Structure 1
């Protein structure tokens, strides 16, 4: 007796992208949740007030949840990480998936900017020398400029936007690979600047070199 054939829209399951996305998303969601929980626990134990750096951290965690949710919806609902038998269904799902993908870069830009600002405001709690605060403010300003430029670029990647997900819509899209490379290069340079900002003060402390290096490692791990 022949087995019944699957309907044309039958979904076979997740592909490798789908499984990898699930594992990576769960890992980083747990990691960010633990980081936020530890921050809350530290403030409660020390009976310390929550500062702007704490609230920015909580906002960044919430935005990261949105970031992961958008990716997971694209993978599990809109066909980004699934296998379909019907090519027409796959084409329709792919278009929906690309719509969700268009929202990912702006969310990412907001997320990483809040993280950077959280670290910079945290530094301001500890180091209060005029020169440090001035350099801190300069990097904050550059972070905000990077954020605005990135979001504008993300939203105007294709004009009109529908060109990104609908091949029948006539429009223009710039070279996203080159744009992404340039913006991520500036992003990386900002991260390096933020990590190096307290180096001079920490290494200048009147403590044994071993202790200064230990403090430096703590700051670097905290920032990472």
Structure 2
């Protein structure tokens, strides 16, 4: 084995899969714990606080955040995420890219759900009209951002299969 071949083998053997796994596994129990505690505070018998729109939004955001992590776990490390692209078989790259497409939708929903939940909470607890107007404008902006991201993701490749399959003749 030459020096160059040994270097190439060492390069291809490098992996950050354990870090990727930790990055996707760690948030799941944290999200469940924090959202679970929030729900517990709302439903306990001594609570005078009722469910509000921000509570529903954070439950939605938590579900989307967990979906992000699960899709990352399912389509990430088993199909090459955390390794050099040269070490990933071509058929795995296609599956990884399909997962990346799914992941992107969940990610957008999780981000906007979390932000809208916080804005909804602000709207509920602050009564200053100018602040509430700012919250409404920000919420509308975030909703428009979400729509723009979803539309651009959906139209990024025509046909959509070109996103994950290089053999499909399409436009980016």
Q: TM-score, normalised by structure 1?
A: 0.63
> Which is richer in strand?
1
Query: Which residues in structure 2 correspond to 1:89-168 (within 5 Å)?
Result: 90-168=89-167
Report the Cα distance in structure 1 between the residues aligned to 2:22 and 2:62, rounded to whole angstroms.
18
Report the Cα distance in structure 1 between the residues aligned to 2:71 and 2:25, rounded to whole angstroms.
13
Describe the SS at the equivalent of 1:159. coil
Worse overlay, 137-146 or 26-35: 26-35
Deviation at 1:129, TM superposition (A): 1.9
Deviation at 1:26, TM superposition (A): 1.6
Unaligned runs of 5+ in 2: 1-12
Greater length-normalized contact order (CA 8 Å, ≥ 6 residues apart) = 2
Deviation at 1:40, TM superposition (A): 1.7
Superposed CA deviations along residues 36-68 of structure 1, whole A, max 9, x for unmatched, are 022123323533211110111011111111111
Report the Cα distance in structure 1 between the residues aligned to 2:124 and 2:136, rounded to whole angstroms.
13
Would the aligned equivalents of 1:15 and 1:81 in 2 still touch at CA under 8 Å? Answer: no
Query: Which residues in structure 2 correspond to 1:191-206 (within 5 Å)?
Result: none
Superposed CA deviations along residues 139-159 of structure 1, whole A, max 9, x for unmatched, are 111111101001111122212
Query: Which residues in structure 2 correspond to 1:11-26 (within 5 Å)?
Result: 16-26=15-25
Q: TM-score, normalised by structure 2?
A: 0.80
Q: CA distance change for structure 1 residues 82 and 57 in 2, over 3 Å: closer, same or farther?
A: closer
Deviation at 1:73, TM superposition (A): 0.6
Larger Rg belongs to = 1
Structure 1 residue ranges (4+ consecutive) displaced by more than 4 angstroms after TM superposition? none
Would the aligned equivalents of 1:16 and 1:81 in 2 still touch at CA under 8 Å? Answer: no
Report the Cα distance in structure 2 between the residues aligned to 1:107 and 1:42, rounded to whole angstroms.
27
The answer for the alignment partner of 1:80 in structure 2 is 80
Deviation at 1:99, TM superposition (A): 0.9
Would the aligned equivalents of 1:71 and 1:104 in 2 still touch at CA under 8 Å? Answer: yes
The answer for the alignment partner of 2:35 in structure 1 is 36
